[in-house]
Structure 1
Amino acid sequence: MAEVLRLHGVRKRYGGGASPVVEVLHGIDLTLAAGAFAALVGPSGSGKSTLLNLMGLLEAPSDGEIWLAGEPVHAAPDAARTALRNRYLGFVFQFHHLLPAFSAEENVLMPVLAGRGRLSADDRRRARALLERTGLAAHAHKRPVQLSGGQQQRVAIVRALMNRPRLVLADEPTGNLDTHTAQEVFALLRELNREEGTAFLIVTHDPGLAARCDGQIHLQDGRLIEPDGAGVVTAAATAPLTAQ
Protein backbone atom coordinates (compact mmCIF):
# COMPACT_ATOMS: atom_id res chain seq x y z
CA MET A 1 0.00 0.00 0.00
CA ALA A 2 1.34 3.46 -0.90
CA GLU A 3 2.40 5.63 1.99
CA VAL A 4 1.96 9.35 2.54
CA LEU A 5 4.10 9.69 5.67
CA ARG A 6 6.91 7.67 7.22
CA LEU A 7 8.92 8.30 10.37
CA HIS A 8 11.93 6.17 11.24
CA GLY A 9 13.77 6.36 14.55
CA VAL A 10 12.48 9.87 15.22
CA ARG A 11 13.53 11.49 18.47
CA LYS A 12 12.95 15.02 19.70
CA ARG A 13 14.95 16.67 22.45
CA TYR A 14 14.75 20.14 23.94
CA GLY A 15 17.22 22.05 26.08
CA GLY A 16 20.99 22.05 26.16
CA GLY A 17 23.64 24.43 27.30
CA ALA A 18 22.64 25.70 30.72
CA SER A 19 19.30 23.84 30.54
CA PRO A 20 18.91 20.09 31.05
CA VAL A 21 18.22 18.06 27.93
CA VAL A 22 14.74 16.53 27.89
CA GLU A 23 13.81 13.94 25.29
CA VAL A 24 10.09 14.13 24.47
CA LEU A 25 9.87 11.50 21.71
CA HIS A 26 11.85 8.27 21.98
CA GLY A 27 12.54 6.59 18.65
CA ILE A 28 9.25 6.77 16.74
CA ASP A 29 8.70 4.42 13.78
CA LEU A 30 5.43 5.16 12.01
CA THR A 31 3.96 4.75 8.53
CA LEU A 32 0.67 6.32 7.45
CA ALA A 33 -0.95 4.97 4.30
CA ALA A 34 -2.08 7.25 1.49
CA GLY A 35 -5.76 8.05 1.92
CA ALA A 36 -5.77 6.87 5.54
CA PHE A 37 -8.22 8.15 8.14
CA ALA A 38 -6.53 7.65 11.50
CA ALA A 39 -6.69 9.02 15.04
CA LEU A 40 -3.75 10.01 17.22
CA VAL A 41 -4.63 9.47 20.86
CA GLY A 42 -2.85 9.63 24.18
CA PRO A 43 -2.94 11.38 27.56
CA SER A 44 -1.87 14.98 28.04
CA GLY A 45 1.91 15.23 28.09
CA SER A 46 2.40 12.13 25.98
CA GLY A 47 4.07 14.07 23.15
CA LYS A 48 1.17 14.37 20.71
CA SER A 49 1.72 18.06 19.99
CA THR A 50 5.45 17.53 19.45
CA LEU A 51 4.80 14.61 17.12
CA LEU A 52 2.25 16.66 15.18
CA ASN A 53 4.72 19.54 14.86
CA LEU A 54 7.32 17.17 13.38
CA MET A 55 4.80 15.64 10.97
CA GLY A 56 3.71 19.14 9.96
CA LEU A 57 7.32 20.22 9.30
CA LEU A 58 6.98 22.94 11.91
CA GLU A 59 10.00 21.52 13.72
CA ALA A 60 12.89 19.26 12.73
CA PRO A 61 13.68 16.01 14.58
CA SER A 62 16.74 15.73 16.79
CA ASP A 63 17.43 12.31 15.25
CA GLY A 64 15.77 10.05 12.73
CA GLU A 65 14.15 10.37 9.32
CA ILE A 66 10.83 11.77 8.10
CA TRP A 67 9.55 11.11 4.59
CA LEU A 68 6.52 12.97 3.22
CA ALA A 69 4.94 11.86 -0.07
CA GLY A 70 8.15 9.96 -0.80
CA GLU A 71 10.44 12.94 -0.18
CA PRO A 72 12.99 13.06 2.66
CA VAL A 73 12.16 16.14 4.74
CA HIS A 74 13.96 15.60 8.06
CA ALA A 75 17.05 17.59 7.05
CA ALA A 76 15.36 20.13 4.78
CA PRO A 77 16.18 23.81 5.47
CA ASP A 78 13.44 26.13 6.67
CA ALA A 79 12.56 27.53 3.22
CA ALA A 80 12.26 24.04 1.75
CA ARG A 81 10.10 22.85 4.66
CA THR A 82 7.78 25.79 4.13
CA ALA A 83 7.38 24.96 0.43
CA LEU A 84 6.82 21.25 1.17
CA ARG A 85 4.29 22.09 3.88
CA ASN A 86 2.28 24.25 1.50
CA ARG A 87 2.46 21.61 -1.24
CA TYR A 88 1.62 18.45 0.68
CA LEU A 89 -0.07 19.37 3.97
CA GLY A 90 -3.26 20.92 5.27
CA PHE A 91 -3.96 21.90 8.87
CA VAL A 92 -7.13 22.10 10.96
CA PHE A 93 -7.01 23.20 14.60
CA GLN A 94 -9.36 23.25 17.57
CA PHE A 95 -9.69 27.00 17.11
CA HIS A 96 -10.29 27.83 13.46
CA HIS A 97 -7.79 30.74 13.19
CA LEU A 98 -9.78 32.44 10.44
CA LEU A 99 -8.74 35.99 9.55
CA PRO A 100 -11.56 38.22 10.85
CA ALA A 101 -11.18 40.95 8.22
CA PHE A 102 -11.75 38.57 5.30
CA SER A 103 -14.76 36.67 4.02
CA ALA A 104 -15.14 32.89 4.21
CA GLU A 105 -14.13 32.55 0.55
CA GLU A 106 -11.12 34.83 1.00
CA ASN A 107 -10.00 32.78 4.02
CA VAL A 108 -10.27 29.59 1.96
CA LEU A 109 -8.06 31.10 -0.74
CA MET A 110 -5.31 32.18 1.67
CA PRO A 111 -3.13 29.03 1.21
CA VAL A 112 -2.99 29.70 -2.53
CA LEU A 113 -1.96 33.31 -1.99
CA ALA A 114 0.66 32.20 0.53
CA GLY A 115 2.10 29.69 -1.89
CA ARG A 116 1.90 31.50 -5.23
CA GLY A 117 1.06 35.10 -4.43
CA ARG A 118 -1.75 35.19 -6.98
CA LEU A 119 -5.12 33.56 -7.73
CA SER A 120 -6.37 31.95 -10.92
CA ALA A 121 -9.90 31.43 -12.13
CA ASP A 122 -9.47 27.71 -11.36
CA ASP A 123 -8.55 28.55 -7.76
CA ARG A 124 -11.71 30.58 -7.32
CA ARG A 125 -13.82 27.82 -8.90
CA ARG A 126 -12.33 25.22 -6.55
CA ALA A 127 -12.94 27.40 -3.50
CA ARG A 128 -16.57 27.92 -4.48
CA ALA A 129 -17.05 24.23 -5.24
CA LEU A 130 -15.65 23.22 -1.85
CA LEU A 131 -17.80 25.78 -0.06
CA GLU A 132 -20.86 24.50 -1.92
CA ARG A 133 -20.00 20.86 -1.13
CA THR A 134 -19.80 21.68 2.56
CA GLY A 135 -23.02 23.65 2.68
CA LEU A 136 -21.37 27.06 2.87
CA ALA A 137 -22.11 28.52 -0.56
CA ALA A 138 -24.66 30.96 0.86
CA HIS A 139 -22.11 32.14 3.43
CA ALA A 140 -19.12 32.59 1.12
CA HIS A 141 -19.08 36.38 1.46
CA LYS A 142 -19.70 36.51 5.22
CA ARG A 143 -16.93 37.30 7.67
CA PRO A 144 -16.14 34.80 10.45
CA VAL A 145 -18.00 36.82 13.10
CA GLN A 146 -21.20 36.30 11.07
CA LEU A 147 -20.81 32.49 11.11
CA SER A 148 -21.60 29.93 13.78
CA GLY A 149 -18.83 27.92 15.39
CA GLY A 150 -19.59 24.90 13.24
CA GLN A 151 -19.62 27.01 10.09
CA GLN A 152 -16.31 28.59 11.00
CA GLN A 153 -14.74 25.16 11.47
CA ARG A 154 -16.12 24.06 8.11
CA VAL A 155 -14.43 27.05 6.50
CA ALA A 156 -11.18 26.03 8.21
CA ILE A 157 -11.55 22.48 6.84
CA VAL A 158 -12.18 23.76 3.31
CA ARG A 159 -9.15 26.04 3.64
CA ALA A 160 -7.02 23.02 4.60
CA LEU A 161 -8.12 21.21 1.43
CA MET A 162 -7.68 24.13 -0.95
CA ASN A 163 -4.23 23.09 -2.23
CA ARG A 164 -5.23 19.42 -2.62
CA PRO A 165 -2.88 18.22 0.14
CA ARG A 166 -1.80 14.60 0.47
CA LEU A 167 -2.32 14.76 4.25
CA VAL A 168 -4.42 16.88 6.60
CA LEU A 169 -3.30 17.12 10.22
CA ALA A 170 -6.28 17.93 12.42
CA ASP A 171 -5.52 18.88 16.04
CA GLU A 172 -8.68 18.46 18.15
CA PRO A 173 -10.86 19.76 15.28
CA THR A 174 -14.08 19.11 17.23
CA GLY A 175 -12.78 20.02 20.69
CA ASN A 176 -14.38 23.47 20.76
CA LEU A 177 -17.79 22.38 19.45
CA ASP A 178 -20.95 21.05 21.06
CA THR A 179 -21.65 17.33 20.66
CA HIS A 180 -24.06 17.62 17.73
CA THR A 181 -21.86 20.03 15.77
CA ALA A 182 -18.79 17.91 16.54
CA GLN A 183 -20.50 14.88 15.03
CA GLU A 184 -21.38 16.87 11.91
CA VAL A 185 -17.81 18.16 11.51
CA PHE A 186 -16.37 14.68 11.99
CA ALA A 187 -18.77 13.29 9.36
CA LEU A 188 -17.60 16.03 6.99
CA LEU A 189 -13.95 15.06 7.52
CA ARG A 190 -14.84 11.45 6.75
CA GLU A 191 -16.77 12.43 3.63
CA LEU A 192 -13.94 14.59 2.31
CA ASN A 193 -11.43 11.84 3.03
CA ARG A 194 -13.39 9.50 0.77
CA GLU A 195 -14.21 12.02 -1.95
CA GLU A 196 -10.85 13.80 -2.16
CA GLY A 197 -8.65 10.80 -1.34
CA THR A 198 -6.78 12.92 1.20
CA ALA A 199 -5.27 11.22 4.24
CA PHE A 200 -6.37 12.56 7.63
CA LEU A 201 -4.63 12.23 10.97
CA ILE A 202 -6.92 13.46 13.73
CA VAL A 203 -5.78 14.21 17.26
CA THR A 204 -8.72 13.68 19.60
CA HIS A 205 -9.47 13.03 23.27
CA ASP A 206 -12.91 11.70 22.32
CA PRO A 207 -12.75 7.86 22.36
CA GLY A 208 -16.02 7.67 20.42
CA LEU A 209 -14.64 9.72 17.52
CA ALA A 210 -11.33 7.83 17.61
CA ALA A 211 -13.18 4.52 17.39
CA ARG A 212 -14.88 5.67 14.19
CA CYS A 213 -11.52 6.15 12.44
CA ASP A 214 -9.98 3.37 10.37
CA GLY A 215 -6.99 3.16 12.69
CA GLN A 216 -5.66 4.54 15.96
CA ILE A 217 -2.12 5.54 16.88
CA HIS A 218 -1.57 5.42 20.64
CA LEU A 219 1.15 7.60 22.13
CA GLN A 220 2.22 7.31 25.75
CA ASP A 221 5.25 8.88 27.43
CA GLY A 222 6.77 9.72 24.06
CA ARG A 223 6.51 6.15 22.77
CA LEU A 224 4.06 4.53 20.40
CA ILE A 225 1.90 1.62 21.43
CA GLU A 226 1.04 -0.81 18.64
CA PRO A 227 -1.75 0.85 16.61
CA ASP A 228 -5.16 -0.49 15.63
CA GLY A 229 -6.03 -0.64 11.93
CA ALA A 230 -3.86 -2.92 9.81
CA GLY A 231 -2.94 -1.36 6.49
CA VAL A 232 -3.86 2.13 7.65
CA VAL A 233 -1.02 2.76 10.07
CA THR A 234 1.95 0.75 11.21
CA ALA A 235 4.05 1.81 14.14
CA ALA A 236 6.59 0.67 16.66
CA ALA A 237 8.90 2.27 19.19
CA THR A 238 12.62 1.64 19.32
CA ALA A 239 14.54 1.33 22.57
CA PRO A 240 15.00 4.50 24.64
CA LEU A 241 18.10 6.56 24.09
CA THR A 242 20.97 5.28 26.20
CA ALA A 243 22.97 7.92 28.02
CA GLN A 244 26.56 8.10 26.88
Structure 2
Amino acid sequence: MIEIRKAQDRGIGRTNWLDSRHSFSFANYYDPRQIGFSDLLVINDDRVQPAMGFDTHPHRDMEIFSYVLEGELEHRDSMGVGSVNKAGDIQMMSAGTGILHSEFNHSGSEMLRFLQIWIVPSQTGVTPRYHQKHFPENEKRGKFRLVISPNETEGSLPVYQDIRVYAGLFDGDEQQKLEILRNRYAYIQIAKGSISVNGTAMNEGDGARVRDETDLLFTGGNGAEVLVFDLRPNELPSIG
Protein backbone atom coordinates (compact mmCIF):
# COMPACT_ATOMS: atom_id res chain seq x y z
CA MET A 1 0.00 0.00 0.00
CA ILE A 2 1.26 3.46 -0.95
CA GLU A 3 -0.30 6.24 1.12
CA ILE A 4 0.34 9.62 -0.52
CA ARG A 5 0.81 12.81 1.49
CA LYS A 6 0.35 15.72 -0.90
CA ALA A 7 2.76 18.64 -0.81
CA GLN A 8 -0.02 21.17 -0.18
CA ASP A 9 -1.12 19.31 2.95
CA ARG A 10 2.20 19.82 4.74
CA GLY A 11 2.58 22.21 7.66
CA ILE A 12 3.87 25.72 7.00
CA GLY A 13 6.52 27.65 8.90
CA ARG A 14 7.39 31.19 7.82
CA THR A 15 9.54 34.03 9.08
CA ASN A 16 11.00 37.03 7.28
CA TRP A 17 13.91 34.85 6.11
CA LEU A 18 12.58 31.26 6.12
CA ASP A 19 9.85 29.49 4.16
CA SER A 20 9.51 25.92 5.42
CA ARG A 21 7.21 22.99 4.71
CA HIS A 22 6.86 20.29 7.38
CA SER A 23 6.00 16.73 6.32
CA PHE A 24 5.56 15.80 9.99
CA SER A 25 4.62 17.75 13.11
CA PHE A 26 7.30 20.29 13.92
CA ALA A 27 7.61 23.52 15.98
CA ASN A 28 4.23 25.33 15.84
CA TYR A 29 2.73 22.82 13.40
CA TYR A 30 1.02 19.86 15.04
CA ASP A 31 -1.14 17.22 13.41
CA PRO A 32 -1.80 14.07 15.48
CA ARG A 33 -1.98 12.08 12.22
CA GLN A 34 1.48 13.30 11.17
CA ILE A 35 3.97 12.76 14.00
CA GLY A 36 6.52 10.76 12.07
CA PHE A 37 6.76 7.37 10.44
CA SER A 38 8.87 4.46 11.63
CA ASP A 39 12.13 6.12 12.78
CA LEU A 40 11.57 9.28 10.72
CA LEU A 41 10.65 12.22 12.95
CA VAL A 42 11.19 15.31 10.79
CA ILE A 43 11.33 16.13 7.08
CA ASN A 44 11.50 19.88 6.58
CA ASP A 45 11.77 21.48 3.14
CA ASP A 46 13.52 24.77 3.95
CA ARG A 47 14.07 27.81 1.73
CA VAL A 48 16.42 30.33 3.33
CA GLN A 49 17.01 33.93 2.25
CA PRO A 50 20.58 35.04 1.39
CA ALA A 51 22.96 35.45 4.35
CA MET A 52 20.26 34.30 6.81
CA GLY A 53 19.79 31.13 8.81
CA PHE A 54 19.48 29.28 12.09
CA ASP A 55 21.53 30.72 14.96
CA THR A 56 23.46 28.43 17.30
CA HIS A 57 21.12 25.94 18.98
CA PRO A 58 21.45 22.57 20.74
CA HIS A 59 20.58 19.00 19.74
CA ARG A 60 20.84 15.78 21.71
CA ASP A 61 20.32 12.08 20.87
CA MET A 62 19.15 12.65 17.30
CA GLU A 63 20.47 11.70 13.85
CA ILE A 64 20.22 14.79 11.65
CA PHE A 65 21.04 14.99 7.99
CA SER A 66 20.76 17.78 5.46
CA TYR A 67 20.28 17.24 1.73
CA VAL A 68 21.13 20.36 -0.28
CA LEU A 69 18.97 20.99 -3.35
CA GLU A 70 19.93 24.55 -4.33
CA GLY A 71 22.50 27.04 -3.10
CA GLU A 72 25.07 26.63 -0.33
CA LEU A 73 24.51 25.58 3.28
CA GLU A 74 27.08 26.75 5.82
CA HIS A 75 27.46 24.64 8.97
CA ARG A 76 29.37 25.37 12.19
CA ASP A 77 29.30 23.34 15.41
CA SER A 78 30.77 22.90 18.88
CA MET A 79 33.05 20.09 17.63
CA GLY A 80 34.96 22.72 15.67
CA VAL A 81 33.53 21.72 12.29
CA GLY A 82 33.02 24.47 9.76
CA SER A 83 31.81 23.48 6.30
CA VAL A 84 29.89 24.60 3.23
CA ASN A 85 27.55 22.10 1.55
CA LYS A 86 26.42 22.50 -2.06
CA ALA A 87 23.87 20.71 -4.23
CA GLY A 88 24.71 17.03 -4.27
CA ASP A 89 26.25 17.21 -0.80
CA ILE A 90 24.89 15.41 2.23
CA GLN A 91 25.87 16.19 5.80
CA MET A 92 25.15 13.68 8.55
CA MET A 93 25.36 14.65 12.21
CA SER A 94 24.89 12.41 15.24
CA ALA A 95 24.03 14.71 18.14
CA GLY A 96 24.57 12.04 20.82
CA THR A 97 25.46 13.47 24.24
CA GLY A 98 24.89 16.98 22.94
CA ILE A 99 26.03 19.38 20.27
CA LEU A 100 25.60 23.06 19.41
CA HIS A 101 25.44 24.08 15.77
CA SER A 102 24.30 26.80 13.40
CA GLU A 103 23.16 26.63 9.78
CA PHE A 104 23.19 29.56 7.36
CA ASN A 105 22.78 30.41 3.73
CA HIS A 106 26.42 30.87 2.77
CA SER A 107 25.53 33.11 -0.18
CA GLY A 108 24.79 36.79 0.14
CA SER A 109 22.72 36.85 -3.06
CA GLU A 110 21.29 33.39 -3.85
CA MET A 111 18.52 31.41 -2.17
CA LEU A 112 19.27 28.19 -0.29
CA ARG A 113 16.95 25.19 -0.41
CA PHE A 114 17.61 22.02 1.53
CA LEU A 115 15.83 19.15 3.23
CA GLN A 116 16.54 18.68 6.90
CA ILE A 117 15.67 15.23 8.18
CA TRP A 118 15.69 13.90 11.74
CA ILE A 119 15.97 10.19 12.51
CA VAL A 120 15.45 8.76 16.00
CA PRO A 121 18.64 6.84 16.88
CA SER A 122 18.93 3.26 18.05
CA GLN A 123 21.61 4.33 20.56
CA THR A 124 21.62 7.29 22.92
CA GLY A 125 24.51 8.95 24.70
CA VAL A 126 26.99 8.36 21.87
CA THR A 127 29.91 10.67 21.16
CA PRO A 128 28.79 13.34 18.69
CA ARG A 129 30.11 13.00 15.16
CA TYR A 130 29.86 14.75 11.79
CA HIS A 131 30.23 13.45 8.23
CA GLN A 132 29.90 15.16 4.87
CA LYS A 133 30.13 13.76 1.35
CA HIS A 134 29.37 14.78 -2.22
CA PHE A 135 27.40 12.29 -4.32
CA PRO A 136 27.84 13.27 -7.99
CA GLU A 137 24.97 13.29 -10.46
CA ASN A 138 26.30 10.35 -12.48
CA GLU A 139 25.96 8.08 -9.43
CA LYS A 140 22.24 8.93 -9.17
CA ARG A 141 21.23 9.44 -12.79
CA GLY A 142 18.50 6.94 -13.70
CA LYS A 143 19.17 4.84 -10.61
CA PHE A 144 19.25 4.90 -6.83
CA ARG A 145 22.44 5.56 -4.92
CA LEU A 146 22.69 4.39 -1.31
CA VAL A 147 23.70 7.55 0.60
CA ILE A 148 23.09 6.64 4.27
CA SER A 149 23.28 3.27 6.03
CA PRO A 150 24.23 1.88 9.47
CA ASN A 151 27.39 0.20 8.16
CA GLU A 152 28.60 2.79 5.62
CA THR A 153 27.85 0.31 2.85
CA GLU A 154 29.06 1.31 -0.63
CA GLY A 155 30.62 4.49 0.71
CA SER A 156 27.39 5.77 2.28
CA LEU A 157 27.38 7.94 5.38
CA PRO A 158 26.86 6.27 8.78
CA VAL A 159 23.73 6.49 10.94
CA TYR A 160 22.87 5.07 14.35
CA GLN A 161 19.68 3.34 13.20
CA ASP A 162 18.50 0.44 11.04
CA ILE A 163 17.66 2.72 8.13
CA ARG A 164 18.93 3.08 4.58
CA VAL A 165 18.44 6.16 2.44
CA TYR A 166 18.60 6.15 -1.37
CA ALA A 167 18.78 9.16 -3.72
CA GLY A 168 17.95 9.11 -7.43
CA LEU A 169 17.53 11.41 -10.43
CA PHE A 170 15.05 10.54 -13.19
CA ASP A 171 13.99 12.03 -16.52
CA GLY A 172 12.10 10.75 -19.54
CA ASP A 173 12.54 7.04 -20.19
CA GLU A 174 14.79 6.46 -17.17
CA GLN A 175 13.25 3.96 -14.77
CA GLN A 176 14.34 1.97 -11.77
CA LYS A 177 12.87 -0.76 -9.58
CA LEU A 178 13.73 -0.72 -5.88
CA GLU A 179 13.13 -3.87 -3.85
CA ILE A 180 11.64 -3.57 -0.36
CA LEU A 181 11.93 -6.61 1.88
CA ARG A 182 8.64 -8.05 3.09
CA ASN A 183 9.28 -7.13 6.72
CA ARG A 184 10.20 -3.50 5.95
CA TYR A 185 8.42 -0.17 5.45
CA ALA A 186 9.53 2.67 3.20
CA TYR A 187 8.97 6.39 2.84
CA ILE A 188 9.26 8.28 -0.44
CA GLN A 189 9.99 12.00 -0.66
CA ILE A 190 9.86 13.82 -4.01
CA ALA A 191 12.41 16.60 -3.56
CA LYS A 192 12.07 18.00 -7.09
CA GLY A 193 10.04 17.45 -10.23
CA SER A 194 7.54 14.65 -10.72
CA ILE A 195 7.52 10.88 -11.23
CA SER A 196 5.21 7.86 -11.11
CA VAL A 197 5.63 5.19 -8.45
CA ASN A 198 3.94 1.89 -9.28
CA GLY A 199 1.75 3.89 -11.67
CA THR A 200 0.79 6.56 -9.11
CA ALA A 201 1.80 10.12 -9.99
CA MET A 202 3.82 12.02 -7.39
CA ASN A 203 4.88 15.66 -7.61
CA GLU A 204 7.46 17.92 -5.97
CA GLY A 205 6.97 18.00 -2.21
CA ASP A 206 4.76 14.89 -2.12
CA GLY A 207 5.62 12.11 0.29
CA ALA A 208 4.34 8.57 0.70
CA ARG A 209 4.20 5.96 3.41
CA VAL A 210 4.80 2.50 1.94
CA ARG A 211 3.62 -0.69 3.59
CA ASP A 212 3.26 -4.24 2.27
CA GLU A 213 5.01 -3.53 -1.04
CA THR A 214 7.97 -5.60 -2.21
CA ASP A 215 8.85 -3.62 -5.36
CA LEU A 216 8.70 0.09 -6.13
CA LEU A 217 8.91 0.98 -9.83
CA PHE A 218 9.83 4.58 -10.62
CA THR A 219 8.93 5.71 -14.18
CA GLY A 220 8.13 8.82 -16.21
CA GLY A 221 10.35 11.22 -14.33
CA ASN A 222 10.28 14.91 -15.20
CA GLY A 223 13.26 16.57 -13.53
CA ALA A 224 12.68 14.24 -10.59
CA GLU A 225 14.95 14.08 -7.56
CA VAL A 226 13.79 11.38 -5.18
CA LEU A 227 14.70 10.14 -1.71
CA VAL A 228 13.60 6.69 -0.54
CA PHE A 229 13.93 5.60 3.09
CA ASP A 230 14.09 1.86 3.83
CA LEU A 231 12.67 1.60 7.36
CA ARG A 232 11.83 -0.71 10.23
CA PRO A 233 8.13 -1.76 10.19
CA ASN A 234 7.08 0.59 12.99
CA GLU A 235 4.27 3.10 12.62
CA LEU A 236 5.66 5.84 14.86
CA PRO A 237 9.06 6.92 16.19
CA SER A 238 9.93 5.87 19.73
CA ILE A 239 11.51 8.75 21.63
CA GLY A 240 13.02 8.56 25.08
Higher relative contact order (CA 8 A, sep 6+): 1
Specify which structure has the higher proportion of strand: 2
The two structures have a TM-score, normalised by structure 1, of 0.32
Structure with max Cα Rg? 1
Specify which structure has the higher proportion of helix: 1
